[in-house]
Amino acid sequence: MNAMLRIWDRFEEAFIVFLLAAMTLVTFVYVMLNNLYGVFYSMAEWFGEDSKLQELCYGIGDFIMDGAQAMTWSNALTKALFAWLIFFGIAYGVRVGGHIGVDALVKLAPRHIQRLIGFVAVLICLGYAGLMATASYNWVNTLMTHNIGADDLGHLGIKQWHINLIVPLSFVLVFVRFFEIFIRILRNEQTGLGLADEAADAMKLSDAKE
């Protein structure tokens, strides 16, 4: 079981890296194509008329411009990848304690009170995650039934439900992560949700500079 959890943890990190790399690559190629054909057109004018080099530069410029015009789907794909990154990252943020915690007053309470508040908080989070997972599943199921193509991506065979599938999936993962926290609180291994403490991080940075 622990081996499976470690594999899944590594998959989460690798998948986030993949999404970031794919977004960067698609955007980079699109921007380069949109700016590169002008360079070859300028070179063609510099070589002058009736020149084979001019004809070659114009040909390369036309080829690059056609490629840029053919990538009208790049913006839509980047938005879809970004949506997947955000929703997939929610569960990852719960796992690594990346979400910001507002618990300054809670930490002033005794440990058993902190643990009680942690129970209530994690139960609320579990309820919210379960509600969102159920509602978003019904929404995606409706999109799947109608089988509507995604804007600017339909010609690639990508449907709207393909993109929005990440929403119920992400909240299921969030539910699992908060359930893990619930178990740890139950075992008295932690008291709260394990969220990020910006004040403590700021103090550490201040001490490091000194």
pLDDT tens sequence across 102-154:
555 666 667 777 778 788 888 988 999 999 999 999 999 999 999 888 888 88
Return all residues near 51 (Cβ < 8 A) that are at least 6 apart: none
CA dist 187 to 176, 181, 190, Å?
Answer: 17, 10, 8
Q: Is the pTM for the entire model greater than 0.75?
A: yes
In degrees, rounded to 5, the angle at the alpha carbon of residue 82 between the alpha carbons of residues 78 and 88 is: 145
Q: pLDDT for 7-59, tens place per residue?
A: 887 888 899 999 999 999 999 999 988 888 888 888 877 776 667 778 888 88
At 205, is the secondary structure helix, strand, or coil? Answer: helix
CB-facing half-sphere around the CA of 79: CA atoms within 13 A: 11
